[in-house]
Each structure stands twice: as C-alpha cells, then as structure tokens.
Structure 1
C-alpha cells in the first residue's frame, strides 16, 4: 500500500512526486500565511505555546482555546511535520499518505500539536526498527496514530503529577501507544474487512480504552470537554470555497481540462485499500477531493452549523480521504443516515457533535459503495447512535472517536449485509438458466 521512493525513478516520476509534495507544501504555507490575517505574530506565538501546554482531549477547539491565527499556524506546522515524516520514511506520496497528511492538518484545529504527536510517531517507527521492517511500512501508523495525542497531553499536564515526571509519563505513554499501533492495526483491519476507512482510529480506540481503564483503576479520571468557537462562518466559508475551487481548477488542468478518471473513482466502493491516485490519476483525484470539500462545507452551512475547529477537522479529513476511499456517491448516503437519525432521536442537528458525526461518519462510505444507498443510510444512522455514547470508554483521548464507532458499526453490519448479498446472489442463480459449465463445477466439488 505504501511504496518506497525508488532511487532509479524516471524523470517523469520524479517530477510527479515533486508536484504532489509542492501542492501539499503550498497548502501548509497557505494556512500559515492566512493565520496572520486573523492575529498578530505575538498572539500567534503565545497561542501556540498555550496549545502545546494544554490538555487536548475531545472537544478542545484551539480557535476557542487561544485564537484563530494560532490554530491556523498549528495546522501549518503539523502539515509540514507530516511531510517531513513522509520524507524521513522515504515513501511515495500516494492516496493513503495524502489522507494521513490532511487528517493531521484537520485535527491540528483541535487536539494535535508538535508536542503531543511526535512521541507516537517515534514509537511507530521504533516498532519498524525493532522488527527490522522498512520504515515506510509503519508510515500510516505514524501519521494516523497521532489520534492518541491527547493521551500525551493529559498525562503531561492535567493529572496533577509534578514536573518533569508528568511530561515524562506522557511522552512514555505516547511512545508505547505508537509502538503498539502497527501490529494491532494490521490485525484489526480483518475485523472490519476494510469497510471502515479509519482503521487506525478503531485501533486507537482500543488502546485508548485500555490506558483510560488503567488510569481509572488508580483513581484518575479524565473528563471530556466542549470548548468550541463560533462566529467564523463568513471568513472560513470564503477560505474553504476558494481553496476547493483552486483544487478543482488544478485538477482539471492536470487532467487536460477533462473529467477522465473521475467516473472510475465514482464506480469504486472505496473499500480498503483503494488508492484513487492509481485508479484515476492525480487530476481526477484532486477533482474528487474538491467536490467532497464543496459537499462537506455546504452540508454544514445548510444544516445551520458553526464552522469551528472540530468541523474544520471533519471537512479536511473528508477531502483527505477523497484520495483514499471516499467519493460523492458513497458519502451522501452516510450523511443522509446521520441526519435522519438525528431528527428521529431529537438530536440538535445544528450541534457540533452531530455535524462532526456526519462528517467523520463517512468512514463507513465503502459500505454504501459496496451494498448500496439503503445500507449506507442504515450505517450512518447506526453510527450516530453509537458515537454519541462511546466516548466514555476512552475518555476523549482518542481523537478518532468516530473511527472507533465506525469500526464497530462495520463489524456488526458487514456479516449481516454479506449474508443478504449472498442470499440474493443464490436466488438469482436459482432463477437463471443453468450453465453446463456450472454443473461440471458442482460435480467436481461433490
């Protein structure tokens, strides 16, 4: 899935890699530049110090905790850090890597920072070193595993443990978590059969639950929080729609001003592992990502929600996975399912928790892609039901709470849907004409 950069790449391949790297670097620099339109350098600097020294469990919106400029600058720093990790692992930038980088960028609005993410990435790469596998094999664990970043911050700053012991304990827990993620994620993907795109999120949910259970046994309790910004729909709507328009135009330009490859992306279920760069090319993938960005942002505005840190995290995660499993066709049923369930159980569909459940719930998009729209709507409805109640298990230290819930939904629904799918296939076979070749195969099997 993750490919190593080859020293013997052709000139065209090398230019292709540089283009992808420059596009992502340009995104990081854009976020950093926009930060100074909101706040002064001093406010951004002090805000980033506050971000790195604060507990970061769900939901801690950095725009509300400090200021918008500091949050955007943290996004820039975290994106550049992720690109540096990719270079250090000597890996190619493909669909999964783009999804990982933009997911980190999104969660840099609420929960991830340079301090609490690095020990997890180091732990993942240490696992590769100890087991003597290439570093790029642990790259996705190093990127997505930063879901447990709040565990580092909570242990370091929030439990009342004296310094430097608190920081050492936090860093140690992050390192151990990162070390455990690669083997566990490899195992758990068989549990969800690739129908939940946030496989590492499910893994981190399990690890986070174990850590929180241990802490509760020793009398420590972690409270979830709800620090959220509001009143920024105007400027962020302009920023997001401009960004996605730029992506759309760049995609068209790279694609020869055509939509070649987009139909192939739309036809695929998105089940892990589906690299849209290989399936449709970079141009079509950028178009797909832009369309998902337009859809996600418009959905939030139509629902009357606030564009705050967690919502921005959801939007950027959706567009990131537009390179790795999500498209308009398989995402829409999930959004519909979450929205309908929100109305049926009298949830406030304008609330941030329901809106991000819809955005992050698109982890189940492959279910809709494989089994159809009705299955996708059911999956979305079931996801909202679970995700509203599952955060207590890991105490909010797993930022990918929806990935944890999505993994459980997939593990429950897939066997049932597969049984119905097989039953329908058998019924069609019974109704259809008998192929003599089939009779031969049956005789041989008997």
Structure 2
C-alpha cells in the first residue's frame, strides 16, 4: 500500500486498488452489453466492427450495435489494465489518460483486432533498444491512433486476405516500432502545450503512409457513419457514471473536496500528473467534473450523442488526470463554439462538438496564458482541425491532436514574442 503525500487527508489506496477502480467502467460496459443485447447479436456486431473501415468517422454503435460496442470497449480496456498489472506499473495520470482514451476510441476506430500489431511493434522496439517494454507502454497505447490503417490494408485492398492481412500486420508493427522516437522529437514542436502529442506524431506519420498508398493507387476514402439511436440512453448512462466518479473521489479524499481548487492553479502543460501532485481522490473528482461539464457542453450545442462524441467525453475525462481542468479547458471549448457560431460549420454537428471537446488538447495554453488566449486558441483550432484531416485520409484518429500541434507551434511563439517585447 502506498499513501499519496498531499495536503488532504486522503484514504490510503494502493496499486491494485487503483487498477480495480479503473476496471469498474469496463465491467459496467460488459454487464450492460448483455443486458442490452443478445450474445448472438453481440458476436455478429463484433465481427462487423472488426472488418469495417475505421477511418474518421465510423461509429461502432451504428456498425455493430450498442452491445458489441460496449464489449469491444470493455475488452480493450480490461486487457490494457491487465498489461499494466503484469508489468507492475504504478497507476499514474498518463496511464489513466491512456486507458480512458483507448476506451473512448473503442466506440470508433479501435477494436480488438486492429490495435495489437502496434503493440507488437512497440515490444520489438523495446527489445531492440534493450529497454523495458513498460517504459514505452504509454506511448504505444496512445499510438493506436493509427489502428485504422491496419483495417484499411487488411480488408480494403480488395485482394486475397492471405496477402493483405500480413501486409496490414507488418504496417502496424512498423508504426509501433518507430512511434516512440518520433513522438519525443515532436514534443519539441509545441513545447508541451499540446496534450495529445501522439496526435501530432501520428498525423505526420499517417500523412506519409497515406501519401505512399495513394502513389500506388490505393486511395483511402473519408467516412461519415454516425448513429442517432442511443442518444438519450447515452446521456443518462454517462451522466450517472461521471457522477459516480465524483462520489468515488469524494470518499477516497476522506469525504472532502479539499484540494480541488489547487488543481485549477496548474497550467496543465506536459507533464502535469494530478495523481502525483494532489492524490487520487481529487483526481477522480476532477475527472468526474470534467465529464459532466463536457457532457453539458455537447448537449448545450444541440449534439446527438454517438460513438465519436462518447469517445471525446471519455478522453477528456481521462485527461482530467493529466493536465485538464475547468479553468484551462472551458476557454478552449468556448473558443470553438464561438468559431462555429460565426464560421461556416453547423454548431450542433458532430465535427464541431468533437473539435470543442478534443480541442481541449490545447488546455495548457489557456492555463499558461489566460482565458482570452484560450478563446483565441479554440477559435483557431476549429478552422485548422476542419481542414487537416485530408492529408492523412482520416487514418489518424487523433486528428484534433494533429491540428492542436500546429496551433500550439504557431501561437505560443507569437505570444512569447509579444511578451518579450513588453
């Protein structure tokens, strides 16, 4: 057992207890799946999910149904939690963010087939460099952003599966092998102000892969497959889950919200790990609050909850352990909403809502330079994210991280230039 040293009176919780807490959500998904659907439909839906195109935006709720989607999310989350357990890693903010991001993207883009070649590549990279796999695990978990390319090659080449499947797996292994050194270099581009650093890395690597495939006549077509069937259910379901997360954190923090206000003082710039800075109880409280506020944001814009929006909600919640809080995230969301109001896009569209939620990758800019700059960052982010997807053909699921990297790389030096000129 290990006690977090904070200025709160947090109850002692150890590594195993935290992993059990992290397993609650996927277990709820698993139980709910079999309450909402039959085993036969779930198996059929999982097969449809596995063989479908996964480029942006393909909603697994529409492709395979809610039961299969919940099972897909539960399995991916639980397997990754088991990997963390076997590697004897202490749960920190980065791992929590990675688990919630993988779980969220299990609603669109990542499935129980297409992520594992990337893990194999990461494992081989660790062996080649003679380092422990656990030292690169977080990067590999996030690098499944490029998992759609595996589906596209395996099932989209219109060739014999015996030829296309090995090629797809080799592409995945290659991605997993090179993503770690690439990501460390990309971090310098935005200086830690883009929380989805792998999104920028994966976007550039995806651009290279897509260009290569296009040069051989294989064009990846963008998708727009979105569900409208489960809107009300998902809103109630996730509101309850996020509320339970706050309650859980409240009890772990010895029935107190003490320490929450201090989280709001951090800029969120990489690396800001709330579990280490303020303890697990306050972190879980912050995660739940971020979930409820993000859900309210989606509803207030008139959004219909579907797989991609659920993915965005869970990602924001995960990063509530690793850099995001109300003070630095809300200006970005409002900047995106303001941009949608006066620009050409419908404010209630899934793409705009995703830009507002995922756009909080730029939260450290608002945290460091204030809410007005945060509004400007969100305003700019919407324009960039709506136009950069074409270069990678939608195979980079973290398109907002890709766009956010460019916004941060341009905006932060300009801000610094004005500061130095004062």
Query: Which of 260, 268, 271 is 1:270 aligned to?
Result: 268
Separation of aligned partners in 1, 2:158 and 2:256: 58
C-alpha separation between the residues in 2 aligned to 1:76 and 1:43? 16
Task: Specify which of 179, 182, 185 is matched with residue 183 of structure 2.
Answer: 185
Question: Could you tell me which residue of structure 1 aligns to residue 246 of structure 2?
Answer: 248
Cα RMSD, aligned residues only:
1.3
The runs of at least 4 consecutive aligned structure 1 residues that moved more than 6 Å come to none
The Cα shift of 1:41 comes to 1.2
8 Å Cα contact 2:385-2:400 kept in structure 1: yes
* Aligned match of 1:296: 294
In the alignment, the residues of structure 1 paired with residue 34 and residue 295 of structure 2 have an alpha-carbon distance, to the nearest angstrom, of 23
Show CA shifts across 1:300-323 (max 9, x none): 111111100000000000000000
The Cα shift of 1:15 comes to 4.8
Q: Deviations along 1:37-69, whole A, 9 cap, x unmatched?
A: 321111011111111122211101000112111
Partners in 2 of 1:266 and 1:41 — Cα distance? 45
Is contact 1:231–1:306 with CA below 8 Å preserved after alignment? no
Q: Secondary structure at the match of 2:114?
A: helix
CA offset digits 1:93-121 (Å, max 9, x no partner): 10000000000000000010111000111
Select which of 31, 34, 43 maps to 1:36.
Answer: 34
After TM superposition, the score normalised by the length of structure 1 is 0.91
C-alpha distance in 1 between matches for 2:371 and 2:274: 21
Q: Which residue of 1 aligns with 2:171?
A: 173
Q: Mean alpha-carbon deviation: is it higher for 88-97 or for 72-81?
A: 88-97
Distance 1:308 1:151 in 2: 22
Q: Residues 333 and 377 of structure 1 are in contact (CA less than 8 Å); yes or no, is this contact kept in structure 2? A: yes
Q: How many equivalent pairs are there?
A: 415
Cα contact 1:89–1:139 (8 A) shared by 2:
no
The residue aligned with 1:3 is: none
What corresponds to 2:64 in structure 1?
66
Q: Say which is worse superposed, 53-62 or 97-106, in terms of deviation.
A: 53-62
1:241 Cα deviation after fit:
1.1
Distance 1:233 1:16 in 2: 37
For 2:419, the equivalent position in structure 1 comes to: 421
Counterpart contact for 2:19–2:85, Cα < 8 Å: no
Query: How many Å separate the matches in 2 of 1:132 and 1:69?
Result: 41
**1:197/1:11 Cα in 2 relative to 1: closer, same or farther (>3 Å)?**
closer
* Partner residue of 2:308 out of 307, 310, 313: 310
SS in 2 for 1:113: coil
Corresponding position of 2:333: 335
Matches within 5 A, 1:17-32: 17-32=15-30
**Does the Cα contact within 8 Å between 2:385 and 2:403 map onto a contact in 1?**
yes
Query: 1:81 & 1:396 partners in 2: Cα distance?
Result: 26
Taking CA–CA contacts closer than 8 Å with sequence separation of 6 or more, which of the two structures ends up with the larger relative contact order?
2
When structure 1 is superposed on structure 2, of 234-243 and 190-199 the one drifting more is 234-243
Q: Residue 118 of structure 1 corresponds to which residue in structure 2?
A: 116
Residues in 1 aligned to 2:116 and 2:392: alpha-carbon distance in whole angstroms: 20
**Between Structure 1 and Structure 2, whose CA radius of gyration is higher?**
1
After superposition, residues 343-354 of structure 1 pair within 5 angstroms as 343-354=341-352
Contact 1:119/1:178 (<8 A) preserved: yes
Asked whether 1:131 is paired with 2:129, we answer: yes
Q: TM-score, normalised by structure 2?
A: 0.96
Conservation of the 8 A alpha-carbon contact between 1:264 and 1:279: no
> 1:210 and 1:88, CA in 2 relative to 1: closer, same or farther beyond 3 A?
farther
Match of 1:87 among 74, 85, 88: 85
Deviations 1:343-368 (CA, angstroms, capped at 9, x unpaired): 11131011101111111000000000
Match of 2:208 among 207, 210, 215: 210
Gaps of 5+ in 1: 1-9, 425-446
SS in 1 for 2:221: coil
Q: Check conservation: 1:121, 1:141, Cα contact below 8 A.
A: no
| Cα gap change, 1:11 to 1:292, in 2 (>3 Å) | closer
The 2-side partners of 1:62 and 1:208 are apart by 22
Deviation at 1:81, TM superposition (A): 1.8
1:363-374 alignment, distance < 5 Å:
363-374=361-372
**Counterpart for residue 104 of structure 2:** 106
- What does residue 8 of structure 2 align with? none
8 A Cα contact 2:287 2:317, kept in partner: yes
Greater mean deviation of Cα atoms: 270-279 or 120-129: 120-129
1:418 deviation in Å?
A: 1.5
Contact 1:261 1:279 in 2 (8 A): no
SS at match of 2:109: coil
Unaligned runs of 5+ in 2: 5-11
